[in-house]
Amino acid sequence: MRGYAGKFLDIDLSTENIAQRKFDEEILKRYVGGRGLAAKILWDRLGKTWETVDPFGPENVLTVLTGPLTGFFPGARVCVSGKSPQSNGMVGSTVGGQFGVDLKCAGYDGIIISGKASKPCYITIFDGKASIKDAGHVWGKDGKQTLRILTEEGRQELKEIFPKHGELKEPQVLYIGPAGENQTRIAAVMEKWTHAAGYGGYGGVMGSKNLKAIMAKGLGPLPEVEDIDKVSDLIDEADRKCFKAASFRRWGTGAAGYAVGAKTSSEPVRNWQEEWHDEKSFAVDKFEQKLWVKRYWADYGCPTSCLKIATPKTGEFKGCVTDNPDYELQAFLGPNLGIYKPEDNVYLASTIDDLGLCGIQGGNTMAFAAELYQRGIISKKDLGGIQLEWGNTKAFGELAEKIAKREGFGNVLAEGSYRAALELGKKKGIDLTQYAVVEKGMAIGAHGIRSGRDFASIMSYACSVQAGDHTSLPSEPTEHENSEFSTILDDSGVYCTFNTFSMNIDMIWGFFSAVTGWTDLRKDWYETNALRIVQLQRAMLLLGGPDLKWKANTDDDNPARFYEPLPSGPYKGKTVSRKLFKEQKLEYYEAVGWDKEGLPKTDVLKKLGLQDVETKLKRAGVL
Amino acid sequence: MPSKKRIWIARDFLKCSGCRKCEIACSLHHEKRIWPEASRIRVFMLVPGAEVPHLCVQCEDYPCVKACPMGALSTSRKTGAVLVNDEKCTACGVCIKACPGKIPHLHPAKKTILICDLCDGKPQCTKICQKGNWDALEETTRSSWHVYKVHARKPEEITREVVRNLYGEAGEAFI
């Protein structure tokens, strides 16, 4: 097998048993790695009891997986998954950095974690050897301090293990902040201060397992590939193409905080009450000139460097650091909260990152609360004295801290907008879910669908097996470079989708065959493999539970807000047509082999060899 | 005759994106593998944002060459780079101790030391860094008056200064 280290770690935190596991080549070829393989592992381990598995219970399984292309394809990432405390399905959630590379260099393609440690711990994987260590001293620490302390500790230990080696590069760390420790449903798995696997809520899953961090360091090379000269040529070619994307290289997604509001009118403004703004104070030149101290920041092997480091050097937010902020955090912690000052945006992004909250989920939840405040549904008293007015930056900072620590009203919001809406709605006797702009318990990305000018289509969030995840949206499943099946491929090969934008699909498959040597994978992928992953994820999503279950068709719908007409901007009055939405949804159902009710057809499941899925869905009363 | 125009790899830490393309290019060139710890240039990230490419500076007095008890290290007449004779090197690590920047490091799999050889005058790391317009690494002409040895420093030392430069005094808390 080429491109794979060939081994996985299987760690039970309850018994502290650390085992190694291998997968047959046929399984890897089918599911590749990352998201695809996570679907397979989770289904095999939890499928039978899925609806009773508590995402925060020791029975949940957390996977941290690389893919064969991790480290070879420009822009390395790692994919975190498990049963999601947001959607109750499974979400493949990826994060950039060198962690996946070091894991492979240490001899492992991934880590499968189950059980619950008796006290706070972290896992180290140093060149083949995995250990479980005490994390009492970093429990409660924010992101920056956690990374500082653990990096230092890891380096010390490496010096002891390899005393004669000279200076070794630092180990790579995946960690959680207080939001994960306190098992909020909207916590991310963090890397490098600002990098987050946010969708899915796996920070809370780590917290529920008393797992503060995972540290990896490998001294070995990346695994053998089929044709290293070809890989090297492809890297050169990818570089040449990505270097041409001049505006993306210069501004990354940082120009979108203004442009997606002003131009495409699809940015969340005050909890999506509007999707348009023309606040030039928030244009990218202000971020660039006032705050960026590093214009090109990149993850392993990336030619694009869409990240930029922003920090105010003076004023009250001195010392706050974040990247860009990237578009999602610009939007969700900017206009979505009525904030249009770059410094304030950096402060909130930095605060959210330090707390280990997901910027999208956190920003969405705080805006949901602010709208309730605007409408007089909750008061300053409810909020423990916080005046949650739009644009009140410090108030949102305080609220984020309360959410991460589950203090006072923060405890309600720590459940995320949707569950908070249900709980508060019950108390107040009003339907508050209309203000929760979410899809199946997950905040959607900052790309609205009403103006029709952004990339998300009107059925894409509603039909997604990843719920609100904007990075992998349903589309016609044909062999096309923009197809959903190709983003599933990215998240299963585990590399950065952004770098694929400059390439054509042949190049991506060129990487796959040069690394793995599998020349027939391409055909299988679009005909069966990707579809199989979709069906597994769909099955887990529909089984749901234990707290919430989704009904196919009925719950495959857009947030209520998207049926309100846009109140402002160049697309004022535009909204989503329910008739058109229904038509497109049925077309998608048909394309992926679901019946008119959105249920996987039994013959499709059989053809994909998923008879056990059919059996389970029937037994659970879903089919 | 040593060439009059020797090159030197100038480094601008503030411009390093941390993409590690230099490591990839270096290890592909020398090892035919992508191998972060076998790269002669390695980018340390002890604090995010403060990425530090770490590689030999070719000190004027070559303390590593002088210290080697096996006579395994020599200097290239053409480039001035430190050359390692893998046959003679026993991986004893004396050169690491002698280096003011602790730059040499053991090969992870072979019994030898890794030191930048300037790719015999055509460094692969600067090539990719320049192609990408990052300019963190730049091939310059070595000057006769500049003291290059001052650049041989440990990653921690460089990091401390870069952090302060990037983040101001607030950066003290990150180190």
Mean pLDDT for A607-620 is 98
Residue A614 has pLDDT above 60, yes or no: yes
Q: What is the pLDDT of residue A265?
A: 98
Q: Please, are residues A570 and A265 in contact by the beta-carbon 8 Å criterion?
A: yes
Tens of pLDDT, residue by residue over A263-285, are 999 999 999 999 999 999 999 99
A221 touching B (Cβ < 8 Å):
yes
Residues of A in contact with B41 (CB under 8 A): none
Burial class (CB in 10 A: 0-12, 13-18, 19+), B163: buried
- Confidence band (pLDDT; 50, 70, 90) for B1? very low
Q: What is the mean pLDDT of chain A?
A: 97
A567 touching B (Cβ < 8 Å):
no
What one-character-per-residue DSSP string does B85-108 give?
-TTT-----HHHHH-TT---EE-S
pTM of the prediction? 0.98
Mean pLDDT for B61-81 is 98
Residues of A in contact with B49 (CB under 8 A): 193, 293-294, 297, 309, 321
Of all residues in chain A, the percent with pLDDT exceeding 90 is: 98
Of all residues in chain B, the percent with pLDDT exceeding 90 is: 95
Whole-angstrom Cα Rg for chain B: 16
Tens of pLDDT, residue by residue over A76-117, are 999 999 999 999 999 999 999 999 999 999 999 999 999 999
Residue A380 has pLDDT above 50, yes or no: yes
Interface contact B166-A297, CB threshold 8 A: no
Nearest CA in chain A to B94: A164
Integer Cα distance of A509 and A489 in angstroms: 10
Peptide bond into A565 cis (omega under 30): no
Integer Cα distance of A346 and A339 in angstroms: 11
Tens of pLDDT, residue by residue over A451-464, are 999 999 999 999 99
Residues of A in contact with B18 (CB under 8 A): 297-299
Mean pLDDT for A218-223 is 98
Q: What is the pLDDT of residue A478?
A: 58
- Confidence band (pLDDT; 50, 70, 90) for A480? low
Residues with Cβ < 8 Å from A376, sequence gap 6 or more?
none
Integer Cα distance of A56 and A339 in angstroms: 34
Strand B52-54, strand B42-44: pairing = antiparallel
Integer Cα distance of A363 and A337 in angstroms: 8
Q: What is the pLDDT of residue A232?
A: 98
Integer Cα distance of A422 and A300 in angstroms: 42
A298 touching B (Cβ < 8 Å):
yes
Nearest CA in chain B to A323: B49
**Residue ranges of domains in chain B, CATH in brackets:** 7-170 (3.30.70.20)
Residue B2 has pLDDT above 80, yes or no: no
Q: What is the pLDDT of residue A483?
A: 83
Residue A479 has pLDDT above 80, yes or no: no
Distance from the Cα of residue B166 to its chain's centroid: 22
Nearest CA in chain B to A105: B35
Burial class (CB in 10 A: 0-12, 13-18, 19+), A595: middle
Interface contact A299-B19, CB threshold 8 A: yes
Mean pLDDT for A566-574 is 98
Question: Which 42-81 residues of chain A touch chain B by CB within 8 A?
Answer: 71-72
**Residue ranges of domains in chain A, CATH in brackets:** 245-443 (1.10.569.10)
Mean pLDDT for A330-359 is 98
Amino acid at A456: A
Residue A532 has pLDDT above 50, yes or no: yes
A101 touching B (Cβ < 8 Å):
yes
The residue to which tokens 């260590």 are assigned: A133
Distance from the Cα of residue A43 to its chain's centroid: 20
Residue B145 has pLDDT above 70, yes or no: yes
Nearest CA in chain A to B104: A166
- Confidence band (pLDDT; 50, 70, 90) for A334? very high
Whole-number Cα distances in Å, A131 to A137, A170, A342, A348: 17, 17, 42, 35
Mean pLDDT for B30-42 is 98
* One-letter-per-residue 3-state SS of A406-461: CCCCHHHHCCHHHHHHHHHHHHHCCCCHHHCCEECCEECCCCCCCCCCCCCCCCHH
Q: Please, are residues A8 and A111 in contact by the beta-carbon 8 Å criterion?
A: yes
- Confidence band (pLDDT; 50, 70, 90) for A481? low
Question: Which 320-379 residues of chain A touch chain B by CB within 8 A?
Answer: 321
